[in-house]
Structure 1
Amino acid sequence: MKPGVSSARLCLTAFGLTSLQLLSSVAATAIPPPSGPYHVGKTRRTIHHYYDHDPLAPNNVSTAFLATIFYPTAQKPKVPPQPYLWNGIAEYYENHWNYTQGFLQSLTSVVQYDAPFLEGSVGQSPFPTIIFGPGGGGPPVDGNTILLSELASHGYTIIGVDHPFDQPYIQFPNGTAVVGTAWDTWLTSAHVTPIYETRVVDNRVLLERLPQIVEELNAPINTSLIGSLGFSLGGAGAVGSMYDEKIVSGLNLDGSFWGRTAANDSSSDVKKPVFLFGQEGHLGGDPSWASFPLWQTGSFRYLLVNGTTELDFFDNTFWRLLEPNPRLGGTIDPYRMINITNAYVKAFFDLTLLGRHASILDGPSGEYPEVLWYDKHGNQYPLT
C-alpha cells in the first residue's frame, strides 16, 4: 500500500472516556489496548486451497492462504507485551513510508498468542464471528490489531484472511515467509478486479471450512452467526462476500467497489444490512460509492469522517501519532479516530448480529460531529 494510491487496506470498535484515559497511561511503544471485559488471544492457521486463477502468484497458482484469529480469552497476560507486527512487515513500512528504522518493530500489543479459548461448547458462542479482509497491498491483518482486538475484547471472534503475494510480507505458522511486490507499482482496474475476485474466493473457502477449523481448534466459535468486515480492497471483498447466504451483514471501511458490487444495476443489491464508512474523498470522487447505494434494498448507512484520508482507517492512525507525517494521514486526532472507528464498527455489528441498539446509528450525532451522514443519493443529513 502506498500513500496517495487508492487501492485497498484495513480496520475497528468502542472506546469511552475510561478507554481514552487508559490510552494516556500506555507506554509509548504499546498500541492502544482493548477496552472490553475480555482479554484477547490470537492464533494462526494455514488454509490449504488450490486456486489457479491467482493474478499475483507464480504461474497464477496459489495453494494456501493465512487465517489469523482474534478471540476473547479469560487468561490475563503472563508475559511482557509482545511485538505485534512481523519484522518483515514492520521493516517494509519503515522503509517505504520513511518511519524511523526499528520504530514499527518496537511496537507491542497485549494480545496473547495461542491463549486458551473461553469455556464453552465447540462451535457455539453467544457472540458472533466476523470475517475480516485487510487492504490490497497491505498492511496485512496484524496491521489492524487495534480494531480487531477491541472487537474481540467484547466477545467477538474475528478471522482475518491474508492472501500470499497480495501483502508485502506474511509468515505462515511453519515459518515460511512470502514476500509480495505487485502493489509497489500502480495496478490498473484490469489487474485489481481479479485480485478482488481472489479475495471473495478466499472468504468463500473460509466460510465452507469454518466448522472444520473450529473442530480442530476445539473452540467455542460461532459458526452460524457471521458478519463480514474489511478495509479498502478488503472492504470491497467483505461486501462482495455478502451474496453468500452465510453472511448476515457487512461493513466496508473506505474500499472502492469491484466486480459485482460495482455493477451499476440491481445485481449489486446485497439485500442485507450494509454499512459504508470512509474518508471524505469518496463523496464525488468515487463513482462506485455513488452507484452502489442506489441499488440497495436492505438496511443501509453511508457515513464519511471529516479530516481523514484512507490511511486513517487502520493502525497507521496510531503510528503517525508517535511519528507525525502529514503524508500519512489526515488532520483528525489519532485517538479521536480510534474512538470513532471502534464505536461505529462495534455498534453496527452489535445491532445487526446481536440486536443491540446504539443511538449513534440513528443519525448524525452531536457526540461525533466529524461523522457525516449521507443518503443513497449523496445528500448529507442535517445534524439534529
Structure 2
Amino acid sequence: MRQRGPGSQDGRVTETLPGLPLSLPELLALLGALALVLVRWLPAAARPRTAVAAGALLLLSTAALAVPGLRWQLLPVPAVGALALPFALSPVLRRWRGTRPARRAPRWLALPGTAACLGLLAAGPVAAWAFPVPVFPEPTGEFAVGTRVLQWTDPQRPETFTPDPDDHRTVVAQLWYPAVPSPASTPRAPYLGRTPQEARTVSAALAQGVGLPAFLVDGVPRARSRAVFDAPVASGGGRFPLVLFSPGSGGVRTQNTAWAEELASHGYLVAALDHPYDSAAVLLADGRTVTSATSSSGNADRDAELAADWTAIRAADLGFALTRLDALDHGERSDPLAGRLDTDRVAVAGHSMGGAAALQAARRDPRFTAVIDLDGFPHGPTTPALTRPVLALTQALGPATDPRYLPRLTEVLDTDTATTYRLTVPGAAHLTFMDGPLYLPPFPPLTGTLGRTGSPRLVAATTLAFLDTTLRHHPTDLARTLATYGDLTIHQGEPSGARGTAGPRG
C-alpha cells in the first residue's frame, strides 16, 4: 500500500512518488520548467510546441501545488520556469503576431544562463531529498493499526511547573493499537497531531527547540502515518500487552510513530505521552498550547539535579498513565478497548531522557514488568535496585560521548536482579532511535548510517524480540537474536552483586 501523502486532507495532491522525494505535481512542475530552459537547444521546428506544452504543464502543476502550499525546497522550480517562460514563448508570440523573428544571440552566450537555471532546478530535488516529507514504513505485523488521543488529569498531583495550587498535572497520550483493516481510501492519521494546525504548531516548536528555522522541516507536518484515527479494534489477538513510552527531552508523543505502529501491528498497544512543560508543544483540550519550560542552567551539578527532577515527573506520568489505562480496561464496556488491555503484561520504554524515566518508573512501580531504554542516560537515583529485565540500546560510544554515560548505565544494569541486555548498535547515532532518520538529512553524526527506513526497522526488530520474550514468554534465544544487530553485553542478574557478562557478542 502506498503511503497516504502529505498536504491535502486525503493526501492525494502531494502523495510522494515511490522512490522519489517529490509528488506527482512537483515532478511535473520540475519537468515543465526543465523543458522551458532547454527549449532554446531544440531543433527550430520543435521549439514552439515544446514551449507551449511545457508552459501549460508548469502552470497547471504549480496551481495544483498551491492547494496544499508549495514546499520551500521546490521554490526554485516555478521561479526558474517564470524566468525562462518569456524567452521560450517569445518566438511563438512573434510568429502569431506575424512579426519578424528576432536575431538569435550566439549559443555560447546562453550557456551560462542555461547552466545556472539547471543548477537551480537540481537544487530543488536535492533539498527535497535532504529534508523530505517522511514516508513511514509499512508495518509488517498481521494487524492494521488504529490510533486515538486521550487526555487525563491527575487530581492527586499539583502541577509543579505553575504556581497555581488548583492546577493539577495533565498528560496527553496517543494510543496505537491492533485494528480492523480500513479501506485504502481512508485518510491516514497526520504525523504530528490530530489536525494540520496542531501538526504545524508542534513542528515549529520542535524546530525552535533545536535552533532550526521552522521552514526547513515544513515537510514533517505534511506527513501521514500508517494508522487510522479511531479505527475499530481488531477482534482477534486476545488481550493486548501494553508498552508505555516517554519521548526524549523536548520530544513529543509522536516522535517514535514508526516504532509504535510496528509494535501495534504485532498485537501490542503502545501508549506514548506528551509531558506538558517538557515536551516542545502540547495542545490541551481547553485550547491551550503548553510549550517547554525546561532548559539548561549552564551548571553541570545543577543540570544533573534538574534532570533528576524532570525524570521523576515523567516517571510519575508513566505510572499515572498506566493507572488510567487500567481504569479504561475495567471501565465502560462501550469503550472499544475495554476488556482488551492486558495490564499484567506491561513494558515501559523511552528515548533519551524518556529512557531514564522508564528506568525510574520501573524502579518505583512494580506493575511494569520490563524496561526498554533507547540511548538514555540514567538520571536520578540508582536505588532501590531494579528487579525487571531491561533492554538498553545505545549508539557506538566515542570521544564525544559523555564519559559518565557507560559507567552509570553499567551500574544500573549490574545491580538489576533480572537479566538485562545492553546492545551497542554499529552505525547508530542518538536520533537513530526515533523517527528523525525519516525526515532529517542523512548526516551520520546526527542520524547514523543505517538509512531512512533501516533505523526504525532495527529498533522495532530488537525491541519486538525483547518484548515477545519478556511479556509473551516466546521460547526464543533472545541473546542470539539481539547479537545479530550489534555488540551485546548480558548482565546475568545474580543477586550477589558479582555480575557476569556474555559479551560483547555479535
**Could you say which residue in structure 1 is the equivalent of 2:187?**
80
Which whole-Å CA distance do the structure 2 matches of 1:313 and 1:362 have between them?
A: 21
Instruction: Choose 145-154 or 126-135, whichever is displaced more.
Output: 126-135
Q: 1:312 deviation in Å?
A: 1.3
2:412 partner SS = helix
Task: From the two aligned structures, give the one with the greater strand fraction.
Answer: 1
TM-score (norm 1): 0.81
**Could you say which residue in structure 1 is the equivalent of 2:150?**
45
Instruction: Please state if 1:238 is matched with 2:351.
Output: no
* Residues 1:26 and 1:142: Cα distance change in structure 2 (over 3 Å): farther
Which of 279, 285, 300 does residue 167 from structure 1 map onto?
279
Higher relative contact order (CA 8 A, sep 6+): 1
Instruction: Please state if 1:145 is matched with 2:257.
Output: yes
Whether contact under 8 Å (1:347, 1:357) holds in the other structure is: no
Which of 340, 346, 349 does residue 226 from structure 1 map onto?
346
Which whole-Å CA distance do the structure 1 matches of 2:504 and 2:150 have between them?
A: 46
Structure 1 counterpart of 2:264, one-letter code: A
CA offsets per residue over residues 67-93 of structure 1, 9 Å max, x none? 111111013254233421121121233
* Residues 1:152 and 1:359: Cα distance change in structure 2 (over 3 Å): same
CA offsets per residue over residues 207-251 of structure 1, 9 Å max, x none? 222232232434122222211111111111112122322111111
Instruction: Please state if 1:247 is matched with 2:368.
Output: yes
Task: From the two aligned structures, give the one with the greater helix fraction.
Answer: 2
Gaps of 5+ in 1: 1-22
Structure 2 counterpart of 1:252, one-letter code: D
Which of 194, 201, 205 does residue 320 from structure 2 map onto?
205
Which whole-Å CA distance do the structure 2 matches of 1:283 and 1:205 have between them?
A: 31
Q: How many residues align?
A: 348
Instruction: Spell out the pairing of 1:278-317 with structure 2 (5 A cutoff).
Output: 278-281=394-397, 284-286=403-405, 287-317=407-437
Instruction: Spell out the pairing of 1:18-37 with structure 2 (5 A cutoff).
Output: 25=18, 28=21, 29=133, 30-37=135-142
Instruction: Choose 35-44 or 275-284, whichever is displaced more.
Output: 275-284
Which whole-Å CA distance do the structure 2 matches of 1:51 and 1:88 have between them?
A: 30
Gaps of 5+ in 2: 1-15, 22-132, 193-198, 492-498
Q: 1:362 deviation in Å?
A: 2.9
Q: 1:315 deviation in Å?
A: 0.3
**Could you say which residue in structure 1 is the equivalent of 2:489?**
374
Q: 1:53 deviation in Å?
A: 6.3
CA offsets per residue over residues 107-146 of structure 1, 9 Å max, x none? 22121111122237xxx944311111111211x1111100
Which whole-Å CA distance do the structure 2 matches of 1:192 and 1:54 have between them?
A: 17
Which whole-Å CA distance do the structure 2 matches of 1:225 and 1:24 have between them?
A: 40
Whether contact under 8 Å (1:41, 1:71) holds in the other structure is: yes
Which whole-Å CA distance do the structure 2 matches of 1:39 and 1:184 have between them?
A: 41
Instruction: Please state if 1:107 is matched with 2:223.
Output: yes
Q: 1:269 deviation in Å?
A: 1.8
CA offsets per residue over residues 129-187 of structure 1, 9 Å max, x none? 1111111211x111110001110011100111211111111223454322224247767
1:100 partner SS = helix
* Residues 1:88 and 1:240: Cα distance change in structure 2 (over 3 Å): same
* Residues 1:53 and 1:346: Cα distance change in structure 2 (over 3 Å): same
Structure 2 counterpart of 1:65, one-letter code: V
* Residues 1:285 and 1:218: Cα distance change in structure 2 (over 3 Å): same
Whether contact under 8 Å (2:355, 2:374) holds in the other structure is: yes
Report the structure number with the largest CA radius of gyration: 2
Instruction: Choose 190-199 or 74-83, whichever is displaced more.
Output: 74-83
